Amino acid sequence: MTPVRVLVVDDSRTMRALLKHAISHDPQIEVVGEAANPLEARDKMKELDPDVVTLDIEMPNMNGLEFLEKIMRLRPTPVIMVSNLTQPGASATLQALETGAFDCISKPSGLQGNTLEHLPGLIKEAAKAKSRLVAQRGARETARAAPAPAQAVYAEHANWPKVVLIGSSTGGVEALITVLSDFPAECPPTLIVQHLPAAFTSSFTARLDKICKARVVEGRNGDVIKPGHVYVAPGAQHMSLHGRGGQRIRLGGDEPVNGHKPSVDVLFHSAAELVEGRMTGIILTGMGRDGAEGLLKMRQAGARTMAQDEATSLVYGMPRVAHEIGAAQKRVPLTGIVRETFG
């Protein structure tokens, strides 16, 4: 098996050494080069053609966000951002995920411990997404060159679901922006679990609120869900429905489920047990299997269920499992999710 070829980009020699050390233990990964700034990295990318790039945000000559935008536009390559998760760092890293970064991890510190232990696995998953990333970027460039289509208009009618539930992970930041930018203003109550560090969810929710016609807020314990509102699970807290008919939000839960907190399965299972009447469950791009079992329970409870298709998923993990176990009635391209839900 050919090793995954990685280029490490960071202005700190110590950080580059730590990254290389974290990666070097895996025989399926090879660090083919390193760079101290984006200008040097640009030349190394042309010379070495890496499968994956790890990229810092704060660097001399050109910051990582500017360089990431150039990579995605000119040489689509999976990029894993390695950043400090301070509030400014969280905002910048969220912007990187919107721009097309595969995922992000925090730099190790005394408080956070070894944050690089999952890096090798993340790199191997990112490498699998390279061809799909290239194809998706090409499709987006073609779409930008085409005349803008008429904006979809959805008229509320009796066939709308009573509640919509969405789960996503790796690649989900971009995917959710695409979906919610076309959501109707008077949408049914919609609840979202996106796997993100706790420092990111407030910024992400604010970003979604700017692009969505409906009101987007972080879910709060005890909230009564309302039409025209989208509720995002806060980081590090499970979000579920409770009360008669599942009309209220509950936050909490001590342990991760499927390795995640918040977990999509927690939300989906609660809806399957409590929501009376029509509901729609959707799984978007992401690694692993979180949400698949809960989506199956929703389908068995009478829900309409769907999963993002392979061609438009950055990581076809969660949607694949949902399809394989019979949880998803349909596989739908990302741009067809809203029409399938409300059309």
Active-site residue list: 169, 195, 290
Crossing angle of the two packed helices 172-180 and 198-211, in degrees rounded to 10: 30
The DSSP annotation for 61-113 comes to SS-HHHHHHHHHHHS---EEEEE--SHHHHHHHHHHHHHT-SEEEEPPBTTTB
SS percent in the chain: helix, strand, coil, step 5 = 40, 20, 40
Pairing of strands 248-252, 238-242: antiparallel
* Spatial distance between the Cα atoms of 59 and 61, rounded to a whole number of angstroms: 7
> Using alpha carbons only, what angle is made at residue 341 by residues 148 and 230, rounded to the nearest 5 degrees?
90
Q: Which residue has the tokens 């990229």?
A: 55
Whole-number Å distance between alpha carbons of 307 and 60: 41
For 214, the 3-state DSSP assignment is coil
Q: Tell me phi and psi for residue 34, to 5 degrees.
A: -145, 155
Can you tell me the distance from the alpha carbon of 302 to that of 33, in angstroms, rounded to the nearest whole number?
53
User: Contact, 267 vs 165, CB < 8 A?
Assistant: yes
d(CA 95, CA 53): 17
Residue with tokens 């696995």: 121
DSSP-derived secondary structure letter, 302 = T
